């Protein structure tokens, strides 16, 4: 069980990064530049909104190979997530108010080292986050066979989420910071990160005509826009078995890392309709990147495909975000199974 919970935490933190608005200038055909201008305007319109609500889905497929003390171990896993996010500007606060509710199931298959393709299904689980007045709250609903591993009810995790298995490795304040508003400097930094643009076939959804574009980002310049230090500070030193700066550098500089963004924009109003981000990794993690003494000499490989999609369901429509009642008794999740 603990083997899966850490991976679940990683997936949740990916979501905290939020939207990554992009734009580019120069080196494109007139049609491509017009498409990029369209994308930039759509994202700027969203970021200027007082509130927005979106449906979210995320699918992660990952294969990890470990070579350790003459043994070969393979972990294949798939994480399927869906939920809803709400955002509300809060100029007086450090962080914008927002909520995230995410249903998630993790399927893992472990083989090698004498194991006979052991499969483990973790979930379904529900993660809930609230950021309100600069405090971060978290709650988990889990199946009966996992109850007791996580605390009941809402917890304040602004300064750390150690009470949740696998979450102690994260600096929650930095995670919240990465999910805040995007400023003009961040947008400008990403301008140089678009290396290619493709005009996709338009489509009509519920009577609305949509223009669709796919943008390819340079991972190195994306890292510069995000800031390596910002990513490194998301993790608590000593709680992660990796040399985090070296691993981040490896992922973003590896020639096999690919990063694309697909957007759908209203043909009539220029408003952002949906946003899909895809990242592909295929890296080798050398023994010197592992800080845990118990893993000395181990080597790892990791291939990963992550696709995350946000579909806007309401912009500048009132939302209700408030701090949860920490004393409220929680009923078991409906339909929870052992």
C-alpha span between 254 and 284 (Å, rounded)? 9
Q: Which residues pair with 52 in a beta bridge?
A: 87, 315
- Predicted TM-score (pTM) of the model is 0.80
Give the residue extent of every domain in the chain: 2-315
C-beta of residue 150 within 8 angstroms of C-beta of residue 142: yes
C-beta of residue 136 within 8 angstroms of C-beta of residue 129: yes
* Residues in Cβ contact with 30 at an 8 Å cutoff, skipping those fewer than 6 apart: none
Predicted confidence at residue 160, as pLDDT, reads 75
Q: Which residues pair with 59 in a beta bridge?
A: 80, 307
Strands (DSSP E) along 35-151, which ranges?
51-68, 71-88, 97-112, 115-132, 135-141
Task: State the Cα torsion 236-237-238-242 to the nearest 10°.
Answer: 100
Using alpha carbons only, give the angle 332, 17, 44 rounded to the nearest 5 degrees.
Answer: 120
Question: Residues 57, 63, 68, 72: is their CA dihedral positive or negative?
Answer: positive
C-beta of residue 172 within 8 angstroms of C-beta of residue 159: yes
pLDDT in tens, the chain (338 residues): 233 333 333 333 333 333 344 444 458 899 999 998 898 888 888 888 999 999 999 999 999 888 888 888 888 999 999 999 999 998 898 888 999 999 999 998 888 866 666 788 888 999 999 999 999 999 988 888 777 888 888 988 887 777 887 777 777 777 776 654 445 455 555 656 888 999 999 999 999 999 999 999 888 877 777 776 777 677 776 667 778 888 888 888 888 889 898 999 999 999 999 989 899 999 888 888 887 777 778 888 889 999 999 999 999 999 999 999 887 544 443 333 43
Query: In the structure encoding, which two tokens stand for residue 328, read together?
Result: 């409220």
187 secondary structure, DSSP code: H
* Residues in Cβ contact with 296 at an 8 Å cutoff, skipping those fewer than 6 apart: 287, 290
Predicted confidence at residue 24, as pLDDT, reads 40
Measured N-to-C along each axis, helices 244-253 and 219-226 cross at an angle, to the nearest 10 degrees, of 140
Using alpha carbons only, give the angle 65, 66, 72 rounded to the nearest 5 degrees.
Answer: 95
Predicted confidence at residue 80, as pLDDT, reads 95
Query: In the structure encoding, which two tokens stand for residue 154, read together?
Result: 């809402």
Predicted confidence at residue 181, as pLDDT, reads 43
């Amino acid at each position: 069980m603990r083997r899966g919970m850490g991976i679940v935490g990683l997936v949740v933190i990916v979501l905290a990064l939020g939207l990554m608005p992009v734009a580019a200038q120069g080196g494109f055909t007139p049609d491509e530049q017009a498409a990029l201008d369209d994308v930039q305007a759509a994202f700027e319109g969203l970021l200027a909104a007082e509130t927005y609500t979106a449906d979210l889905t995320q699918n992660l497929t990952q294969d990890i190979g470990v070579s350790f003390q003459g043994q070969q171990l393979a972990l294949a896993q798939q994480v399927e997530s869906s939920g809803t996010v709400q955002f509300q500007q809060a100029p007086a606060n450090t962080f914008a108010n927002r909520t995230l509710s995410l249903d998630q199931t993790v399927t893992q298959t472990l083989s090698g080292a004498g194991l006979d393709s052991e499969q483990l299904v973790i979930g379904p689980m529900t993660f809930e986050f609230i950021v309100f007045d600069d405090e971060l709250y978290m709650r988990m609903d889990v199946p009966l066979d996992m109850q007791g591993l996580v605390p009941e009810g809402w917890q304040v995790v602004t300064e750390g989420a150690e009470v949740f298995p696998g979450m102690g490795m994260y600096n929650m304040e930095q995670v919240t910071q990465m999910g805040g508003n995007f400023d003009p400097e961040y947008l400008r930094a990403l301008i140089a990160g678009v290396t290619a643009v493709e005009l996709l076939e338009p489509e009509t959804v519920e009577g609305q005509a949509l223009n669709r574009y796919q943008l390819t980002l340079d991972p190195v310049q994306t890292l510069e826009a995000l800031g390596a230090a910002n990513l490194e500070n998301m993790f608590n030193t000593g709680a992660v078995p990796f040399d985090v700066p070296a691993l981040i550098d490896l992922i973003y500089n590896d020639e096999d890392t690919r990063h694309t963004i697909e957007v759908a924009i209203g043909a009539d109003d220029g408003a952002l309709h949906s946003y899909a981000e895809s990242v592909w990794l295929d890296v080798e993690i050398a023994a010197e990147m592992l800080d845990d003494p118990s893993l000395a000499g181990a080597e790892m490989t990791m291939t990963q495909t992550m696709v995350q999609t946000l579909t806007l369901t309401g912009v500048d429509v009132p939302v209700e975000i408030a701090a949860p009642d920490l004393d409220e008794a929680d009923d078991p999740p409906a339909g929870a199974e052992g």
